[in-house]
Chains A and B, each alone.
Chain A
Amino acid sequence: MGAIQKVEGKRNAAVQAKIPVVVDAGFHVNSNTPSEDYLIPLKVKWTAAGALDGGELMFPKPSFEKVEGTEKPLSVFTGSFDIVANFKVAANAPAGPGSAAGKLSYQACNAKMCFPPKTVDIAVPYQVD
Chain B
Amino acid sequence: MFRPSVSIVLFGALALGSFFVGCSSGTRTVKAASLRPVSERKPAPDFALKDADGRTVHLSDYKGKVVLLDFWATWCGPCRMEIPWFIEMQRDNKDRGFEVLGVSMDDNGWEDVKPFLSEMKINYRVVIGNDATAQLYGDVESLPTTFLIDRDGKIAVVHVGLTSKRDFQDGVEQLLQPGQSGSKVALNRVLVPALSLRPR
CB-contacts of A51-79 with B (<8 A): 67-70, 74
Q: Which residues of B contact A69 (CB under 8 A)?
A: 77-78, 80-81, 162
Task: Verify B2–A122 contact, CB threshold 8 A.
Answer: yes
- How big is chain B's contact interface, by range? 35 or more
Q: Does B55 contact A (CB under 8 A)?
A: no
The proximity string for B residues 168-195 relative to A, scoring 1 for CB distances below 8 Å and 0 otherwise, is 0000000000000000000000101111
The proximity string for B residues 1-19 relative to A, scoring 1 for CB distances below 8 Å and 0 otherwise, is 1111110101011000000
Task: Verify B6–A109 contact, CB threshold 8 A.
Answer: no
The residue of chain B having its C-beta at the shortest distance from the C-beta of A34 within the complex is B75
Q: What is the interface size of chain A, counting residues whose CB is below 8 A from a CB of the partner? A: 42
Chain A, interface SS category: loop
Task: Verify A115–B3 contact, CB threshold 8 A.
Answer: no
Q: Does B107 contact A (CB under 8 A)?
A: yes
Task: Verify A115–B195 contact, CB threshold 8 A.
Answer: yes
Task: Verify A118–B198 contact, CB threshold 8 A.
Answer: no
A-B interface pairs (CB < 8 A), number: 118
Cross-chain contact of A3 among B2, B73, B160 (Cβ < 8 A):
B2
Task: Verify B75–A107 contact, CB threshold 8 A.
Answer: yes
Task: Verify A106–B1 contact, CB threshold 8 A.
Answer: no
Q: Which residues of B contact A110 (CB under 8 A)?
A: 193, 195
A113-B162, A121-B1, A122-B2 as given contacts; A27 in contact with B78, CB under 8 Å: no
CA distance A21 to B6 in the complex (A): 11
Q: Does B123 contact A (CB under 8 A)?
A: no
CB distance from B43 to the nearest CB of A (A): 25
Task: Verify B199–A21 contact, CB threshold 8 A.
Answer: yes
Cross-chain contact of A111 among B12, B75, B162 (Cβ < 8 A):
B162
The proximity string for B residues 125-145 relative to A, scoring 1 for CB distances below 8 Å and 0 otherwise, is 000000000000000011110
- Of all A-B residue pairs in the complex, the 4 with the closest CB atoms, nearest first, are A69-B81, A112-B161, A113-B161, A122-B2
Query: B residues within 8 Å of A by Cβ?
Result: 1-6, 8, 10, 12-13, 73-81, 105, 107, 116, 141-144, 160-162, 190, 192-200
Q: Given A114-B142, A123-B1, 4 more contacts at CB 8 Å?
A: A1-B200, A19-B2, A114-B76, A115-B10
